[in-house]
Structure 1
């Protein structure tokens, strides 16, 4: 189950759902535990590989390469500049760079007609739940003014 909350855009005063996360992030050891259950690799071996993955990826990206992890996606660097552009290409230099960002493109699989058929890490059947309704036991202030619903509102999401 994924969660969203309602938020009002300051640009146009319209309301939108915004994806949110709950709780603390899942730690490396939990990921290692689950991966070891899905494979023939021990928890310790999986943990060791995961702990070293970031450094290995950083080494390759620092060499100007992208890193593609099958089933996950592609990681690459982009630069943040100091907003001081120059008049000619000859004047461009690395001193204008004041930050590095890591960008990520999730892996996609395409059909023969180039249509996206699957995206890694995105379950096609994500069940979105309004976090306010969950917190209020199913009663949300600021409901749909049209009187519609977003699913079975009579069901208690906590069981």
Structure 2
């Protein structure tokens, strides 16, 4: 089951549900255990592959490529540039780059004749339940969307 809490948005002074996570994040070892249970691969082998996955993705993206993992989605880099820009294209340089982020687009499929998309990471069996906590006022005041809660 997935959880939400009630938040008040300052923009229009209205209340909305906001998704929240509970507990500690699922660790790599737990994921490896689960994958080994539903496959013929040992936990140790799955764990080893998962531990190397980030480095492999980083290597490919550093080559200017995106990485699509079937059933999961696509990872790619975006950048941020400092300053106010430059006057002409010939003055644009890598020295303007101030940050790099990894972006992720979940895999999506469309059934034949359907106008809706299905995302592989969104379960068809989500049951939403209100988390019994005091309502938050705004994300800026402590309730960021989909931010993991740390215990």
TM-score range, shorter chain: 0.7 to 0.9
**Structure 2 counterpart of 1:71:** 71
What is the rounded CA distance, in whole Å, between the counterparts of 1:13 and 1:54 in structure 2?
41
Change (3 A) 1:114 1:88: farther
Measured on the aligned residues, the alpha-carbon RMSD in Å equals 1.7
What is the rounded CA distance, in whole Å, between the counterparts of 2:114 and 2:104 in structure 1?
21
Shift of residue 115, structure 1, vs aligned partner: 3.0
* Alpha-carbon displacement from aligned partner over 1:96-143 (angstroms, at most 9, x marks no partner): 1111111110001112346345211101231111102xx5xxxx88xx
Change (3 A) 1:15 1:34: same
Higher relative contact order (CA 8 A, sep 6+): 2
In the TM superposition, 1:58-137 aligns within 5 A as 58-113=58-113, 115-132=115-132
Unaligned runs of 5+ in 2: 136-151
Provide the secondary structure at the position in 2 that maps to 1:118.
Answer: strand
Unaligned runs of 5+ in 1: 142-159
In the TM superposition, 1:24-35 aligns within 5 A as 24-35=24-35
Aligned length: 135
105-114 or 84-93: which moved more?
105-114
Larger Rg: 1
Change (3 A) 1:56 1:107: same
